[in-house]
Structure formats: structure tokens, C-alpha cells
């Protein structure tokens, strides 16, 4: 069977399915609450699936299994950090945010602070985080399609990026939060079924004996037992060990500051539903990351090392699709071709669902925070007007993401995602936590922590070996790297918290302290929280 | 309702609810669970990250076949995450939700909304 034809067919099926869903959802999108939050009428289970669909990105599905296939045990840290992070969201953020806010991350800050400065700051960091994350997904989509269709041409990669960009703009502009949510639900179901299928087939090769699978992976990797032990990727020096710790911090603290995740908590009727959706998401995401362990070690055991090792001309990001081909019967077999095409289509659906969520989060923030809250100072902006601006913003942000993705193709996908997490943990999380738990916290504290964390995270990366000084850097021929780590979190997260503290204690803002009473009652009890929309 | 009105509104019912013993109890129970739990799971996670880098010999100890301490430690992180999420779900349903519902009902009554 012709794999390329089948792959193309399944890709088009995914695209057609999501377009159909979007048109269907558009008929139910009438008000601003529908556009931004799907009318707050999703159930906890539906939203849990959608959170999974929003969160399990191409970096997870392709990146983590690839990292495990290549570096063995060290790739597993991503899975653990990405999962444990959900406890921060569950215990400290989800329910209170649902009760205190309306449409965007900035809402809960603007609740008790000066509207314009905090909305501007939160909107800037929302857009920056979302763009880094978007670049990672779109660059991934470009290489995925090019490699699967067997045509390694720049033109095809660029065309794929433009196509993905056009689709994500379409989902958001036409379907709003409802359309985006259903796309994410479908993707989550496809991803879980597809992964489970491959996992069962891999385990069957080893008679469901995990130890045998690990042994085969260790042997086939050429590294022996060291492949199953920590340290292969990060254990070389003190600097790389600290880098690993820094990455670990950004992963665990970044999730609860990602704008496209935070706005998902607004899509349910009550805080209790927000809690339920996080519980479902934890179950789903945890099961998925357990499967990445089998996918990664399975790829290490069953694939030829040269297929996944970039030093030997392979591509680690294709470990999962190639593994699907191998367990389906190998290259040239019908089973292999079908499974390869199937998993590739699942990966493509994964990318589409995530980019839609990111575009929605950033265009919502531009319309609701910048346009309505800052430019128009809230004065008589009609709902239609606001949603119209959100749709225009989706176009502009989509166009910017496309324009940046094309030159960004030489950047490492995992690095871009890690940077988005580091910025979210440094700029957004301190402000969210202080706002909910510290009466004294005020406008200056919020703006200092957001801008300070943002500038620290991006600035440290700019002066790191990721950008200059090494053959693998973005600018390999120059060297202005003065910060030794690739991951800024270990410095930039404390800076975000420290600046939030300093900004607060150096200014007086009695109104913010006064309104904390209302915020606290509302956040903990739901008294006065936004209600679901009934059509 | 626009956000401007929202910012201007400060219904006195919030001050009254805030001063009730029920609210103080709700906040005490909530913080009494989530603060220690957060310290615990973050320390447990950081212990894992630090041992992975600085105690590689211990983490590399083989337990059964090719299964070593590092893998078991990683899987335990999954188990504790699921376990803590389940404990919080039970705790909040039993100890937080009834108080929150009661206060929210008072808000509806007093706030005339």
C-alpha cells in the first residue's frame, strides 16, 4: 500500500472532521461569553478531555518519546514534570481562577488592581508565551509533514506551516471557544486511542514484560544499563546538572501559568466543575505520560539507532510514528503503512488542537484586555465589537506566528516549549499566586513581577549558549553568551517572585487591599462568580 | 455588566460574609490542606530531580531485572500525584463544598442577586 497516499488521505480526514466541527460549533456561538468561554456550559468531564487535548502537545507526543528513545531515562523527566505540575493547578489555581475571573488570565488581577497597567502586562506576557509555544508546534508540523510525505523540501515545510496557520485562524475565528474545545476533545480521544494501540503492540512484542523491554532498549541503544539510568543527557558536568534542575523547576511551575490552559477553567459552570475537569485531566495526562515511557523505550528497543539519532541522519521527533510502522509489520508491510499513517494523522490532529487553543488565548487577551480594558478604557464597548476585535486579533496573531515560524525552523522544538514554560512560571505564576493569597499585593507588585519575570526569562536565554557561542546555537558564528544554562527558570522564577514582593512593599494601594476581601470571598465560595450561559 | 461596573461594585455583603466564622473556617480548612500539600509534593518532586543528578549511584541500583530505583522513583511520582489529587477531591467534597455552598446561599439571599 502507498503510505504517502494513505497518510495524505488520513491528514485530510482529520482536517475535514475538524472543519465540520467548527462550522457546527459556530452556529451556537452568539455572545462574547460563547466566543471566549463556550458559554461556560461544558461539563467537568468534557473540559477535562479538552484540557488534555490542549496540553498534550506535539512536544509531548513526538518530543518526549523521541527524547527517551535517544537519551533514555533523562527524557522521562519531562513526563514527570509535566504531570506533577497539575497539582499546582488543582490545589492553588483552577477553582479560585474560575470564581474570580471572566475570560482571560488578566481578569483576576484586574479584579482588584488598576485595570490598565495589569491588563497591559498580562496581555503582553500572554502573547509572548503563546507565540513561543505556537512556534514550537508549527515548526514541528512542518518537519512532520515533510518527513512523512518523504519530501524534504523547504517549500513543502513552508506550505505546511501556512496551512496549519490558516486552519488555526479558521477554528478560532469561526468556532471560538466552542469549536476549539470540540477539536481538542476529538484530538484527546484520538491521541489516547492511537497511543494505547501502539503501547499494547509494543508490550506484546515483549510478552508484556517491562523489564525485558527495558533490557532490549538498553542493549539496542549501545549504551547498556546507563541508558536506563539518569545522567546520559544531563549528567556530564555541574553546569548541566544545574541546568536539569532549572528545567525541572520550569516544568513543574509553568503549567499553572500557561494562558491557554488557564482560560479553559472558565468554560465550566462552577468552580467544582473546574476541579472535576482538572481531576479528569490528571488521570488522562498521567495515563498518557506513562504511555510515552513505553513508546520511548519501545522505539529505543525496536528501531534502528540510525532512525532516531540525528548524528546518524535520523530524526528523534519521528520516533513514535516510526515505532508504529515497526510494530505494524515494518517498512513496506500493509500493517506498518496503516499504523504509520494513523499515528502521523494523530500527531497532526494533536498539533492542530494545541495551536487553536494558543491562538484563542492570545486573541482573547488582545481583545478583552488590550482593546476593551486599555485602549477603550471599558467605555461602552459592545460585545459584538469586542468579539469582532478578537477575530481580527486571531488573524494578526496567526499571521505573526506563520511569519516567525518560517525562519524559526532551525530552532529545537523542545527548547521553544521549555522557554514558554519558563516564561509562564516566571512572569505569570508569581502574580497569580500572590493575587489569590496575599492581601497586601498590589498593582506595582503585579506589573513588576510580570515584566520582571518575562524580561529575566527571555533575557537569560538571549545570553545563553542556546542563542550564541556553540555550534548548535541559533547564531553559531558569534558569541555573546554570558549565562551558562540553557534553561533560565532557576534564576528567572525567583526574580519574578522577588520583584512581585518588592514592587508591593514599596507602594501603597489601599483599594487593592480593600477589594481583596471581595476577591477572597468570591474565589473560595463562588459568591458572585460568572454564571453559565443558557441558550 | 462591564468590568468598569464590576470594579466599582463592592457590595457590603462581601464584608459581612468575610467576617463570619464559617468563612474563617472555610479558609482555614482550605489553606490547612493545600499549603502543606504543596510543600510536600514540591519537595518530593525536587528530591527526585536532585537525586537524579547528584545520587546517580543510588538511582541506578537495580531492583528486579532491568528495573532500577530511578524508574521506580519516577513511577512513584505518578502514584503520589494521582493519590494527592484523589485525597484533595475527597477532602474538598467533604470539608470545603458544604461550607462554600452555605456561604454562597447567604450571598444570594443577602445580596439580592
ipTM value, please give it. 0.92
- Residue B111 is predicted with a pLDDT of 67
Nearest to A525 among B45, B77, B107 (CB): B107
- Residue B3 is predicted with a pLDDT of 43
Q: Tell me the pLDDT band of A6, cut-offs 50, 70 and 90.
A: confident
A202-209: average pLDDT: 93
8 A C-beta contact, residue A366 and residue A123: yes
Nearest to B53 among A241, A275, A520 (CB): A241
pLDDT in tens, A152-196: 778 888 888 898 899 989 999 999 999 999 999 999 999 999 999
Closest CA to A227 of B71, B15, B75, B91: B71
**Could you tell me which chain A residue has the CA closest to the CA of B2?**
A378
pTM: 0.93
Nearest CA-CA distance, residue B45 and chain A, Å: 8
Inform me whether the pLDDT recorded for B6 exceeds 70: no
The reply to whether residue A228 touches residue B38, judged by beta carbons under 8 angstroms, is no
Task: Tell me A530's DSSP state.
Answer: P
Q: Cα separation of A222 and A469, whole Å?
A: 30
Q: Which residues fall within 8 angstroms of residue A54, CB to CB, at 6 or more apart?
A: A184, A260, A261, A264, A353, A354, A357
Nearest to B56 among A230, A283, A514 (CB): A230
Nearest CA-CA distance, residue B53 and chain A, Å: 6
Q: Which residue has the cell 487577551?
A: A365
Query: Helix %, strand %, coil % for chain B, to 5?
Result: 85, 5, 10
pLDDT in tens, A505-514: 999 888 888 8
Q: Cα separation of A65 and B95, whole Å?
A: 40
Q: How many residues does chain A have?
A: 535
Inter-residue long-range contacts of B86-95, CB under 8 Å, 24+ positions, other chains counted: B87/B37, B88/A90, B88/A91, B88/B33, B88/B34, B88/B37, B89/A275, B89/A279, B91/B33, B92/A275, B92/B33, B95/B29, B95/B33
Residues in B closer than 8 angstroms to A278, CB to CB, are 85
> Is residue A222 exposed (0-12), middle (13-18) or buried (19+ Cβ within 10 Å)?
exposed
Q: Which residue has the cell 495515563?
A: A287
Least confident of A41-45, A411-415, A462-466, B67-71: A411-415
Nearest CA-CA distance, residue A475 and chain B, Å: 29
> Is residue A30 exposed (0-12), middle (13-18) or buried (19+ Cβ within 10 Å)?
middle
Q: Cα separation of A343 and A340, whole Å?
A: 5
Q: What percent of chain A has pLDDT over 90?
A: 51
Q: Tell me the pLDDT band of B1, cut-offs 50, 70 and 90.
A: very low
The reply to whether residue B3 touches residue A514, judged by beta carbons under 8 angstroms, is no
Nearest to A282 among B18, B49, B81 (CB): B81
Closest CA to A253 of A427, A107, A108: A427
Q: Which residue has the cell 525562519?
A: A407
Residues in A closer than 8 angstroms to B97, CB to CB, are 272
Residues in B closer than 8 angstroms to A212, CB to CB, are 65-66
Alpha-carbon distances of A352 from A63, A112, A186, A261, A501, rounded to whole Å: 16, 36, 11, 15, 39
- Residue B2 is predicted with a pLDDT of 40
Comparison of pLDDT for A93 and A222, the residue scoring more: A93
- Residue A204: enclosing H or E segment and its boundaries? helix A176-205
Residue A533 gets the label, from left (phi > 0), alpha (psi -120 to 50) or beta, of beta
Annotate A268-285 with DSSP letters as a single string.
Answer: SSSHHHHHHHHHHHHHHH
- Residue B4 is predicted with a pLDDT of 43
- Residue B68: enclosing H or E segment and its boundaries? strand B67-68
- Residue B9 is predicted with a pLDDT of 55
Residue B65 gets the label, from left (phi > 0), alpha (psi -120 to 50) or beta, of left
**Could you tell me which chain B residue has the CA closest to the CA of A437?**
B31
Q: Which residues fall within 8 angstroms of residue A343, CB to CB, at 6 or more apart?
A: A194, A198, A320, A321, A324
- Residue A535 is predicted with a pLDDT of 59
In a 13 Å sphere around the CA of A342, the CA atoms on its Cβ side amount to 20
Alpha-carbon distances of A275 from A126, A156, A449, A532, rounded to whole Å: 23, 43, 27, 16
Inform me whether the pLDDT recorded for A147 exceeds 80: no
Alpha-carbon distances of A286 from A55, A196, B49, rounded to whole Å: 12, 13, 18
The reply to whether residue B78 touches residue A83, judged by beta carbons under 8 angstroms, is yes
**Could you tell me which chain A residue has the CA closest to the CA of B12?**
A518
Average pLDDT, chain A: 89
Q: Tell me the pLDDT band of A378, cut-offs 50, 70 and 90.
A: low
Task: Tell me A102's DSSP state.
Answer: S
Identify the three-state secondary structure at position A412.
coil
Q: Tell me the pLDDT band of A472, cut-offs 50, 70 and 90.
A: confident
Nearest CA-CA distance, residue A239 and chain B, Å: 11
> Is residue A263 exposed (0-12), middle (13-18) or buried (19+ Cβ within 10 Å)?
buried
Nearest CA-CA distance, residue B60 and chain A, Å: 5
8 A C-beta contact, residue A253 and residue A429: yes
- Residue A400 is predicted with a pLDDT of 93
The reply to whether residue B66 touches residue A214, judged by beta carbons under 8 angstroms, is yes
Q: Tell me the pLDDT band of A1, cut-offs 50, 70 and 90.
A: low
The reply to whether residue A520 touches residue B27, judged by beta carbons under 8 angstroms, is yes
Q: For the stretch A156-166, what's the b/e string if a residue is b when 16 or more beta carbons lie within 10 angstroms of its beta carbon?
A: ebbebbbbbbe
Specify the pairing of strand B67-68 against strand B62-64: antiparallel
pLDDT in tens, A416-433: 888 899 999 999 999 999
8 A C-beta contact, residue A145 and residue A164: no
Comparison of pLDDT for B87 and A385, the residue scoring more: B87
8 A C-beta contact, residue A211 and residue B67: yes
> B81 is written with which cell numbers?
500525584
Closest CA to A141 of A370, A355, A369: A355
Nearest CA-CA distance, residue A373 and chain B, Å: 8
Least confident of A190-199, A306-315, A396-405: A306-315
Distance of CA A240 to the CA centre of its chain: 24
Amino acid at each position: 500500500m502507498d503510505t504517502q497516499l494513505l497518510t495524505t488521505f488520513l491528514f485530510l480526514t482529520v482536517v475535514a472532521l475538524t472543519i465540520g466541527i467548527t462550522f457546527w460549533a459556530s452556529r451556537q456561538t452568539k455572545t462574547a461569553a460563547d466566543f471566549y468561554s463556550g458559554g461556560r456550559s461544558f461539563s467537568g468531564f468534557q473540559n477535562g478531555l479538552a484540557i488534555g487535548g490542549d496540553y498534550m502537545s506535539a512536544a509531548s507526543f513526538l518530543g518526549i518519546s523521541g527524547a527517551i528513545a535517544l537519551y533514555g531515562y533523562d527524557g522521562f523527566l519531562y513526563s514527570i514534570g509535566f504531570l506533577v505540575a497539575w497539582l499546582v493547578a488543582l490545589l492553588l489555581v483552577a477553582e479560585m481562577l474560575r470564581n474570580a475571573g471572566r475570560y482571560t488570565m488578566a481578569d483576576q488581577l484586574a479584579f482588584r488592581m488598576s485595570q490598565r497597567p495589569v491588563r497591559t502586562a498580562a496581555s503582553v506576557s500572554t502573547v509572548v508565551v503563546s507565540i513561543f509555544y505556537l512556534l514550537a508546534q508549527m515548526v514541528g508540523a512542518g518537519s512532520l509533514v515533510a518527513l512523512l510525505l518523504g519530501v524534504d523540501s523547504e517549500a513543502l515545510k513552508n506550505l505546511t506551516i501556512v496551512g496549519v496557520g490558516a486552519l488555526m485562524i479558521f477554528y478560532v475565528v469561526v468556532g471560538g471557544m466552542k469549536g476549539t474545545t470540540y477539536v481538542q476533545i476529538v484530538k484527546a480521544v484520538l491521541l489516547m486511542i492511537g497511543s494505547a494501540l501502539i503501547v499494547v503492540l509494543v508490550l506484546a512484542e515483549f510478552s508484556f514484560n517491562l523489564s525485558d523491554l527495558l533490557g532490549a532498549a538498553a542493549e539496542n541503544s549501545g549504551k547498556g544499563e546507563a541508558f536506563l539510568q539518569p545522567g546520559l543527557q544531563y549528567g556530564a558536568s555541574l553546569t548541566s546538572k544545574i541546568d536539569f534542575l532549572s528545567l525541572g523547576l520550569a516544568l513543574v511551575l509553568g503549567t499553572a501559568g500557561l494562558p491557554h490552559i488557564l482560560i479553559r477553567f472558565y468554560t465550566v459552570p462552577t468552580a467544582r466543575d473546574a476541579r472535576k475537569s482538572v481531576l479528569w485531566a490528571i488521570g488522562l495526562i498521567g495515563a498518557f505520560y506513562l504511555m510515552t515511557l513505553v513508546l520511548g523505550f519501545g522505539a529505543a528497543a525496536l528501531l534502528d539507532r540510525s532512525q532516531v539519532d540525528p548524528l546518524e541522519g535520523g530524526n528523534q521527533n519521528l520516533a513514535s510514528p516510526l515505532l508504529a510502522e515497526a510494530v505494524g509489520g515494518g517498512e513496506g508491510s500493509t500493517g506498518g503503512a496503516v499504523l504509520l499513517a494513523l499515528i502521523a494523522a494523530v500527531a497532526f490532529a494533536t498539533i492542530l488542537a494545541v495551536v487553536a487553543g494558543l491562538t484563542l488565548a492570545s486573541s482573547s487577551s488582545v481583545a478583552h484586555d488590550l482593546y476593551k480594558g486599555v485602549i477603550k478604557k471599558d467605555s461602552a464597548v459592545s460585545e459584538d465589537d469586542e468579539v469582532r476585535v478578537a477575530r481580527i486579533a486571531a488573524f494578526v496573531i496567526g499571521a505573526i506566528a506563520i511569519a516567525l515560524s518560517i525562519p524559526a525552523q532551525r530552532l529545537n522544538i523542545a527548547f521553544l516549549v521549555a522557554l514558554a514554560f519558563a516564561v509562564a512560571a516566571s512572569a505569570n505564576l508569581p502574580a497569580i499566586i500572590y493575587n489569590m493569597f496575599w492581601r497586601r499585593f498590589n498593582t506595582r507588585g503585579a506589573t513588576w513581577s510580570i515584566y520582571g519575570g518575562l524580561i529575566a526569562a527571555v533575557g537569560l536565554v538571549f545570553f545563553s549558549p542556546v542563542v550564541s557561542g556553540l555550534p548548535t546555537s541559533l547564531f553559531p558564528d558569534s558569541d555573546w553568551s554570558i549565562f551558562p544554562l540553557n534553561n533560565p527558570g532557576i534564576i528567572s522564577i525567583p526574580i519574578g517572585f522577588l520583584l512581585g514582593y518588592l514592587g508591593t512593599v514599596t507602594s501603597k494601594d489601599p483599594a487593592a487591599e480593600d477589594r481583596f476581601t471581595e476577591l477572597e470571598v468570591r474565589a473560595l465560595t463562588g459568591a458572585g462568580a460568572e454564571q453559565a450561559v443558557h441558550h | 455588566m462591564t468590568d468598569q461596573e464590576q470594579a466599582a461594585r463592592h457590595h457590603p455583603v462581601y464584608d459581612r460574609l468575610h467576617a463570619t466564622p464559617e468563612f474563617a473556617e472555610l479558609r482555614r480548612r482550605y489553606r490547612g490542606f493545600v499549603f502543606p500539600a504543596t510543600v510536600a509534593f514540591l519537595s518530593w518532586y525536587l528530591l527526585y530531580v536532585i537525586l537524579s543528578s547528584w545520587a546517580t549511584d543510588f538511582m541506578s541500583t537495580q531492583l528486579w531485572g532491568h528495573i532500577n530505583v530511578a524508574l521506580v522513583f519516577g513511577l512513584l511520582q505518578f502514584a503520589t500525584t494521582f493519590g494527592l489529587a484523589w485525597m484533595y477531591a475527597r477532602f474538598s467534597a467533604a470539608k470545603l463544598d458544604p461550607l462554600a455552598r452555605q456561604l454562597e446561599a447567604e450571598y444570594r439571599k443577602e445580596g439580592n442577586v
